Structure 1
Amino acid sequence: MDNLLVSTSSQRISVPVIALTFYAVASGYLMSLIPLMLSHYQLETSLASWLASVFYAGLLIGAMFVDPVVNRLGHRNAFIAFLMVLLISIVTLPLFAHSTVWLVSRFIAGIAVAGVFVVVESWLLHGDEAGRAKRLGIYMAALYGGSAIGQLGISYLGINGAVPFLTISALLLLASVVLIFGKSTQPLSQQATSLSLRQITKLNHAAIMGCIVSGLTLGAIYGLMPVELNNRGLDHSNMGALLALVILGGMAVQPSVPWLSKYLGRTLLMALFCLVGSAAAILPFLNASLTILAISLFVLGMATFALYPIAINLGCDKLDASYIVSATQVMLFSYSVGSVLGPVIADWFFESGQGLLGYLFVIQMATCLYMLLSSIKTKRQWVAGE
């Protein structure tokens, strides 16, 4: 750990990673808080899926337009600006308990979060290609670790009153303070160049599909997992721990992703994780015990949260550094498309009685088959070229 802290690479990325961690704790708490607090503000519980979808719609729109903001302000200032917009959108929620206001606020929050992701991911993807997987691993560990801690806020801080919003606001302000006063290098804004439509179509298709599926699964998990657990009759004390297990699973798998990529290849690795995820999703249907549910959610977190870093690393493979911000936008846009559709499609599974886990099983099994076929196709093209 000491060597990690003193290395040049770690010093360069420590400020955005620490700021991201504070953001992740706040975001993890908020994402699980919103579906559970609707009744407290006399709002329909059916609004939960729409709030999740409109948030990811904002993420999608933001992914299309944040590139000029990053280029104009620079990574550090853009990060601070997006955090402040997010903070304003969150403070609005308890002040105006109306469905329209909440939908607009979550849409704006989605745009701000898109900016946060593009800034941090492009910041960490710059530099030597050999270290990208490790830097992305640190990024994902900070994101998921922070989110896991945030989930525990439901158990320890509750879902009612002003305390949740004050806590979330304080964490976002702390993230901004780290960015303002922390010392760190950042990519030069003039280095960024936009990809043309033709270049975008030539990006790795499996990488884009991996981002879409990551959105389909994670968008539904973030938006509807509290509803799924609530439907299973779990109280809030158990719910916070179970939600944290999903995130901890995603965090636990990150160190192994760079190592596994060397031996299996990224496309085949995504197929493997989807197969594991589909198996985890079916377990609670076979055994309804709380222990099996806990194991299932941990493994499901490992499988679903592994997809995005693998996909984005594959999409940026061998790209010139000047295209990194633009490529990150494309990957985030793909993720956002899935995130918008995920909660709405998952809602159909709730209506049919299969719930969120049934939805995740179908999505991940279908993706496993796609990635296997894509891996075979890539292997044949490589052999033919050889």
Structure 2
Amino acid sequence: MDTAAVHDSKNSTLVPVLGLSFFAVASGFLMSLIPLSLTSFGLDKTLVPWLASIFYLGLLIGATSVERVISKIGHRAAFVAFLCLLIASIIIMLLLAIESVWLGARFIAGMAVAGVFVVVESWLLMANNAKARAKRLGLYMTSLYGGSALGQLAIGPLGTDGVTPYLYIIGLLMLAVLPPLLIKSGQPEKKAQQKMRINEIKKLSRPAIIGCLISGLLLGPIYGLMPSYITAQDAQVQHTGILMACIVLGGMLVQPLVSYLSTRMSKSLLMAMFSLLGTLAVVGILESQPLLLIGVSYLVLGAASFALYPIAITLACETLPMAKIVSATEIMLLSYSVGSVLGPLFATKLTQSSNGILYYLGGIMLTSCLYMLIKSIEKLESGHKPVAGL
């Protein structure tokens, strides 16, 4: 009997995608709300990069332990547990508006979000062929970024002051808990999970690991610092929510293209192409004057930035058996988290320019483009090496 096929037939996408959609709206709103709401809680704005970095530190630490939780209680129960932990972290922040408490709460939130990501990614990636995995991951990314874009738009109508916006976020997260809580079928089997050994980790694609790292170096500052950057621009301050939504909407709209191209061309070359596109988008933001062109540039920046992670993770998992998927997604998230921890700190420390975050993003994009291009050329050349003795 083909156990992979049986395993795959029991693995439904309904629960993870439905729960993820509500989570994404709440998370998208929360990520932009936190840096904009600090003053209303009497907290200093210098806390912004530290809150972003400690969240991603939590993401990093959480990524090292999710596999054990899933193995013990299964995907569905783990999904519920991590969402509840995220809700608890927000409640703690509302009860105690103290810098140390907020830093601790965001660390806990990072661990919870790591759990959500690994649970949903591994749940959807447990398909028995590369094409199905790419399609499912495209569905995951579309739900994640579409929900996040919708969450950015809540900044305008719900505001950024006081407790009320956070209560809406808690309500959305409670809705996200309902699908895995009420629908008990369709999860992958607990006993199928296996931890990757050190020698297996060493064999994972280097461009895949670097791609996840670069994704973190980009998305950490985009989520943590970009709202503050936009509000500091006189011509853009009234459109913060819309422009942040453009970034995430670009990430959503590009996913079908990523899913289509990732099975038809070199993934290293594909990451190089999107990195070049991101570099051009940064130039567009710096040089454009009309708000429409600025919005389009943010849209393209989002498309390029959010395209790298799904390409990298499918590259890492394309030859792995389903039993290794949870462990592999943990490793990829770990790499992403390292970048996400360092990104906000690098973006604020490397330059004091008012456009420092854009110079930083452009530099990372250009470096990524060159690296991935070199790797794709090396792979092409290795595939055409003559066989010895012929």
Q: Secondary structure at the match of 2:262?
A: helix
TM-score, reference length from structure 1: 0.95
- Give 1:384 shift: 2.4
Alignment-derived partner of residue 307 in structure 2:
306
Alignment-derived partner of residue 19 in structure 1:
19
**What residue identity is the alignment partner of 1:49?**
P
Report if aligned partners of 1:282, 1:358 keep a CA contact under 8 Å in 2.
Answer: no
Aligned equivalents of 2:170, 2:286: Cα separation in 1: 39
Alignment-derived partner of residue 353 in structure 2:
352
- Give 1:183 shift: 5.0
**What residue identity is the alignment partner of 1:260?**
L
Measured against aligned partners, the alpha-carbon deviations of 1:228-269 in whole angstroms (never above 9, x if no partner) come to 101212566411111101011000001111222244311100
Please state if 1:48 is matched with 2:48. yes
Alignment-derived partner of residue 367 in structure 1:
368
Name stretches of at least 5 consecutive residues in structure 2 with no aligned partner: 1-7
Please state if 1:128 is matched with 2:98. no
- Give 1:364 shift: 0.3
Please state if 1:117 is matched with 2:123. no
Equivalent runs, 1:173-188 vs 2, <5 Å: 173-182=174-183, 184-188=185-189
Measured against aligned partners, the alpha-carbon deviations of 1:288-332 in whole angstroms (never above 9, x if no partner) come to 332221111000011000000000000001101111100000000
Q: Secondary structure at the match of 1:352?
A: coil
Equivalent runs, 1:57-68 vs 2, <5 Å: 57-68=57-68
Measured against aligned partners, the alpha-carbon deviations of 1:193-224 in whole angstroms (never above 9, x if no partner) come to 11111111110000000000000000110000
- Give 1:141 shift: 0.3
Report if aligned partners of 1:93, 1:102 keep a CA contact under 8 Å in 2.
Answer: yes
Distance 1:42 1:234, change over 3 A: farther
Report if aligned partners of 2:134, 2:262 keep a CA contact under 8 Å in 1.
Answer: no
Q: Secondary structure at the match of 2:12?
A: helix
Q: Secondary structure at the match of 1:128?
A: coil
Greater shift in the superposed pair: 10-19 or 118-127: 10-19
Report if aligned partners of 1:155, 1:236 keep a CA contact under 8 Å in 2.
Answer: no
**What residue identity is the alignment partner of 1:77?**
A
Aligned equivalents of 1:241, 1:173: Cα separation in 2: 26
Aligned equivalents of 1:98, 1:194: Cα separation in 2: 39
Equivalent runs, 1:227-242 vs 2, <5 Å: 227-233=228-234, 237-242=238-243
Aligned equivalents of 1:349, 1:152: Cα separation in 2: 31
Distance 1:376 1:117, change over 3 A: same
Greater shift in the superposed pair: 370-379 or 177-186: 177-186
Distance 1:89 1:375, change over 3 A: same
Distance 1:165 1:234, change over 3 A: farther
Aligned equivalents of 1:371, 1:178: Cα separation in 2: 39
Alignment-derived partner of residue 154 in structure 2:
153
Give the superposed CA RMSD. 1.6
Alignment-derived partner of residue 104 in structure 1:
104
Aligned equivalents of 1:188, 1:29: Cα separation in 2: 33
Q: Secondary structure at the match of 1:233?
A: coil
Report if aligned partners of 2:11, 2:188 keep a CA contact under 8 Å in 1.
Answer: no
Aligned length: 379
TM-score, reference length from structure 2: 0.94
**What residue identity is the alignment partner of 1:15?**
V
Alignment-derived partner of residue 243 in structure 1:
244
In terms of fraction of residues, the more helix-rich structure is 1
Q: 4+ residue runs of structure 1 moved beyond 6 angstroms?
A: 8-11
